[in-house]
Chains A and B, each alone.
Chain A
Amino acid sequence: MRAGLAAGGGLVLGGLLPACSEGGRTTEVASGANGDEPRRGGTVRFGVIEGSQAGNLDAHKPVGSGAFRGWALYSKLWEWGLDARPKLALAEEAEVNADATEWTIRLHKDLEFHHGKTISADDVIFSLLRLTDPQLASPYAGYLYSLLRNDVKKLDERTVRIPFEKGAGLVALAECWMSWGGIVPTDYDPVNNVVGAGPYRLKSFTPGQRSVFTRFDNYFKSGQPYFDEVEILDFSDQTGRLQALQAGQIDIAPNLPFEQQAFLKADPRFEVVSSETDVWHSFDMNLEKAPFDDPRVRKAFRLIADREELVARVLQGQGRVANDLYSPSDPAFNHDIPQRRQDLAEATRLLKEAGHGNGLDVELVTSGGAGANAALVFAQQAKKAGVNVTVSKVDGSIFTGPKRNDWTFSTGGSVSRPFLLTVQQHDGPRAVGNKTHFKDPRFAELITQALGQPDLDRRRALVGEAQRIQHESGGMLIWGYSNVLDAVSKDIGGVTPDRTGFAGWRTDRIWRRSIA
C-alpha cells in the first residue's frame, strides 16, 4: 500500500533527544521467541498484494508494491523504529532551529551506495531536490510544502542545511520525508541505474510479477542483512497468495486479511504476527453538503456508531475502538477527551432537532476491503436510529477519481502515521484529500503553530486544542484502529510486533532458522 509507507509515531526529533541517536553503525539483534540468534544465508520469498498495480522501483515516487521494494533497496536519513518513532539511520545528527525553519543534517562517515560510491552531501541534496521536483510529479512532494528548494545548501562533504519558509516551519521533517526519502546517488535513474544504500541490491525486476535482490555487504548496519537473496512476488489475489503460502511457495505474507487469520493460526507451519498500530478507519461526512452541513447531524451519526460491533465484525476483533481522532500513538495526542459511545436516544433526539424526525436517507459510498464491510455494518446500526443508509460500492478508480473529494458520505481512513503528517493529508489547512471539507480558522492556526514548534510540551497544548475542535465539530467518524497481521513461516525469524505495521517489511532484520 502506498499509504502503508509511514507509521504513527512520536515526534521525537533526532538530534534534539539523545535517546534516538542509536541508529548508524550499530548491530541490531533480532531475537526470536526462543532466543535464537540470526543466521546468515539462504533465500526468503515475500508475497505482496498491491491491487493490480505493477509498480516501479522509483525511490521518490513509489507506485504499487514499489513501496515494499523500497524497503529493500533504499536507506534513508531516518528510519521507523519498532516503536513507530523516527530514529537516525544514514544521518548521524539532525538539528532544527527554534522555529523549525532550518534543519542541519550530517551524514555518517564512509557510507556507501550499492555501486561503491561514497554517500555525500551532494547525494542528499540531489535526492531531496528530485523528490520535490515538480516535473517528477511525486505525490509525496507536497508534505514538504514550505521547503525552500533553491536554498538547500551543502555545508561540507557530509553536512546539509535545509531551509523552510519563515512562519511555516516543519518540525515533522523526519515523518514527512522519511518514507519516500530514499537517498540515491547523483547518477540515479529509476529504470536504468537503480542504486540505493538499502540492505539489498537489485538483481532483477519483472513488473507485476517478481523482483529479486541480493545482499548488499556494505549495508550501514554491520552484520546485516542476513539473506543471500530476497524475492518479492506480486499477487493480485488474496486467495492465490494464501494458497501459495500453504504450498510453501512464499515464506511471508505481509498484511494478511483478517478473515484468513483463523485459518493460518490453525496451521502449525505458520505464525501470525499481530501488531497493534494506528491504522484508522472512518466514515467521512462532507460538511459542505446536506445533511452534514448541520453539526447536529454529524454528532448524531457519531453517536449512532456501535464502535465495539464495528471492531468485532469488520476487524474481527483485531483492533481497538477509536474516538473520532487519529494518531493515538503520537506523543502529542490528547488522551483526555472522553470516548464517544453509542447513544441512540441522543442521536434520535439530535436528528429530530435538525428536522429529520421522519427519517433520513443517506448514500454511503465505498470502494472495497474493510471500508465496504464497515459500511454494511454501519447501515444496519443506522436503521435503529431511523436513518436509512444505502451502501453503494464503486470501483477504486472511481472512488479515488475526480469526484474523490465530493462524496457526501464515504468510507475512509489511512495508515499509521503521526498527527502532523496525517492532518496534512486529511483535514488540515493544506490537506490534499480533504473529503470532509473541514475548514476551521482556529484549527488551521493551531496546526500551523504546531508545525513550527519543536518543543514537545508546547506542541502538545496546541495539538490538544486542535483535537478538541476535531472531536467536537470535525467531519470524520473514526470508529477504530486496526492491527496489522503478517503471516510468517515458522522457519523465519526476526518478524516481531511493530507499532508501525511494517513487521513484515523489514527485510534487513529477518533471517532463516534452518540455515546451518
Chain B
Amino acid sequence: MSRPPSSFRKPNPLLDLLRARQVRFGLVLSVLVVAFALLGPLFAPHAPTDLVGITYGPPSLDAPLGHDYIGHDVWSRVLAGGVSVVWMSLVSAVLALTAGTALGLLAAFARRRVDQTIVWFTDVFLAFPDLILVLLIVSMLGREHWIIVLTVAVAFAPGVVRLSRGIALGVVNQEFVEAAEMMGYPRGRILFREILPSILTPLLVHLGIMLTWAIGMLSGLAFLGYGVAPPAADWGLMINENRAGLLIQPAAVFGPVLLIALFALGTNLLAEGVGRVTSRIEEKTT
C-alpha cells in the first residue's frame, strides 16, 4: 500500500475505500441484495398470497423455485419477501445507533452521576442475553413490525452506548475540544462540529456489523415463530413456514436462506472492510 511520496494531496477516503477489494465485494453484494429486495416485487409473476400450485410442488419451468406449504409460488414470494427484511434490519440498526450514540455522548459529556447511571443501565441490559430480551418483549407486546424493530433496536442499543461513550471520552479530553471550550463555543456546536465527525467512522462500521446481527436476529425470531406474521412474504418467515417441507421441497427454504446469508455476508464484508481501510488511513495520517 505504498504511495508515491510526492502525493501530498489530501487523501480521499472514498477512493481509498473503493480501492479495497473486500469493500468493493461487500458493497456489490449488499447493493445487489437490496436491489433485488426493493425491485423484486415489480418483477414477481404472481402476488405473494396467490395460491397457484399444489402444496410443496417441485420446481418447474413456470415456478423456478417450486411451491410452498400451501401452494404459493416460492419465486414470487422470494421476490416480494425482501423488503421487510431490508427495512426492518436497517431501521433497527439505525435506531439502535441513533439512540445509543445520543446516550453515549450524553454520558461522556455529562460525566459523574448521569454517566454512571447510563453506564449502569447498559450493564443491566447487557446482562440480558439479546435473544431472551427480544423474546420476552415480543411475546409481551405482540409482533407488529414496528414492535419487532424497536425491540431489536433496544437489544442492540446498550452496545452502541458503550462504544460511543468510549470513543467520545477519548475525544473529549483532546486538545481541540478543550481549545474550543476555552474559546467559548457553545457545547452543541462542539458536539456536532468537532466530536461527531471524529467518531463517525467507528460508529458507521458498527452500524454495518449491527446490520448483520439484525438480519440474523430477525430471521432467528421468525424461525422461532415470533417474527413477521403470515400471510406477509418475508424471507425469515418463509424459512419457518416451509421448514416442515425442508426434506420434500428444499428450494422453498434454501431460496430465502441463501438471500439472507448473502445479505448478511455482504453487509459484514462491507462493514469490516471499511473498518480495516479507515484504521489504515488513520495509521497513515498520524
Measured CB to CB, the residues of A under 8 A from B are 238-239, 242, 257, 259-260, 262-263, 313-314, 316, 368, 372-373, 376-377, 379-380, 391-395, 397-398
Give the Cβ gap from B66 to chain A, nearest Cβ, in Å.
Answer: 13
Which residues of the partner chain B approach A379 to less than 8 Å between Cβ atoms?
Answer: 49, 231
Knowing A373-B70, A380-B51, the reply to whether A259 touches B245 (Cβ < 8 A) is yes
Choose one: A377, A391, A393, A397; the contact of B51 (CB below 8 Å). A377
Q: Are B229 and A393 in contact (CB under 8 A)?
A: yes
Q: Are B69 and A373 in contact (CB under 8 A)?
A: yes
Give the Cβ gap from B49 to chain A, nearest Cβ, in Å.
Answer: 7
Q: Are A380 and B229 in contact (CB under 8 A)?
A: no
**What is the bound-complex CA distance between A187 and B109, given in angstroms?**
70
Q: Are A239 and B243 in contact (CB under 8 A)?
A: yes
Give the Cβ gap from A240 to chain B, nearest Cβ, in Å.
Answer: 10
Q: Are B244 and A380 in contact (CB under 8 A)?
A: no
Which residues of the partner chain B approach A393 to less than 8 Å between Cβ atoms?
Answer: 229-230
Which residues of the partner chain A approach B84 to less than 8 Å between Cβ atoms?
Answer: none
Q: Are A259 and B248 in contact (CB under 8 A)?
A: yes
Q: Mostly helix, strand, loop or mixed at chain A's interface? A: helix
- A sample of 27 inter-chain contacts (CB < 8 A) reads A257-B244, A259-B69, A259-B245, A259-B248, A260-B244, A260-B248, A262-B248, A263-B247, A313-B55, A313-B71, A368-B225, A373-B70, A376-B51, A376-B70, A376-B231, A377-B70, A379-B231, A380-B49, A380-B51, A391-B230, A392-B229, A393-B229, A393-B230, A394-B142, A394-B229, A395-B139, A397-B139
**What is the bound-complex CA distance between A380 and B248, given in angstroms?**
25
* Interface bin, chain B: 20 to 34
**What is the bound-complex CA distance between A387 and B139, given in angstroms?**
31
Q: Which residue of B lies closest to A309 (CB)?
A: B51
**What is the bound-complex CA distance between A259 and B68, given in angstroms?**
10
Which residues of the partner chain A approach B51 to less than 8 Å between Cβ atoms?
Answer: 313, 376-377, 380
Give the Cβ gap from A242 to chain B, nearest Cβ, in Å.
Answer: 7
Give the Cβ gap from B184 to chain A, nearest Cβ, in Å.
Answer: 57
Q: Which residue of B lies closest to A376 (CB)?
A: B231
Beyond the given A259-B69, A313-B51, please list 9 additional residue pairs across the A-B interface where CB-CB is below 8 A.
Answer: A257-B244, A259-B245, A260-B248, A368-B225, A376-B230, A380-B49, A380-B51, A394-B142, A394-B229
Q: Are B229 and A239 in contact (CB under 8 A)?
A: no
Q: Are A263 and B71 in contact (CB under 8 A)?
A: no
Give the Cβ gap from B146 to chain A, nearest Cβ, in Å.
Answer: 15
**What is the bound-complex CA distance between A297 and B269, given in angstroms?**
56
Q: Are A239 and B246 in contact (CB under 8 A)?
A: yes
Q: Which residue of B lies closest to A392 (CB)?
A: B229
**What is the bound-complex CA distance between A394 and B248, given in angstroms?**
28
CB of B56 within 8 Å of the partner chain = yes
Q: Are B231 and A391 in contact (CB under 8 A)?
A: yes
Chain B, residues 62-96, CB within 8 Å of chain A (1/0): the string is 00000001110000000000000000000000000
Which residues of the partner chain A approach B123 to less than 8 Å between Cβ atoms?
Answer: none
**What is the bound-complex CA distance between A475 and B139, given in angstroms?**
31
Which residues of the partner chain A approach B230 to less than 8 Å between Cβ atoms?
Answer: 372, 376, 391, 393
Which residues of the partner chain B approach A259 to less than 8 Å between Cβ atoms?
Answer: 55-56, 69, 244-245, 248
Which residues of the partner chain A approach B55 to less than 8 Å between Cβ atoms?
Answer: 259, 313, 316
**What is the bound-complex CA distance between A392 and B232, given in angstroms?**
10
Q: Are B70 and A313 in contact (CB under 8 A)?
A: yes
Give the Cβ gap from A270 to chain B, nearest Cβ, in Å.
Answer: 13
Which residues of the partner chain A approach B143 to less than 8 Å between Cβ atoms?
Answer: 395
CB of B181 within 8 Å of the partner chain = no
CB of B50 within 8 Å of the partner chain = yes
Which residues of the partner chain B approach A380 to less than 8 Å between Cβ atoms?
Answer: 49-51
**What is the bound-complex CA distance between A373 and B70, given in angstroms?**
7
Which residues of the partner chain B approach A397 to less than 8 Å between Cβ atoms?
Answer: 139
**What is the bound-complex CA distance between A252 and B139, given in angstroms?**
33
Which residues of the partner chain B approach A263 to less than 8 Å between Cβ atoms?
Answer: 247-248
Give the Cβ gap from B176 to chain A, nearest Cβ, in Å.
Answer: 54
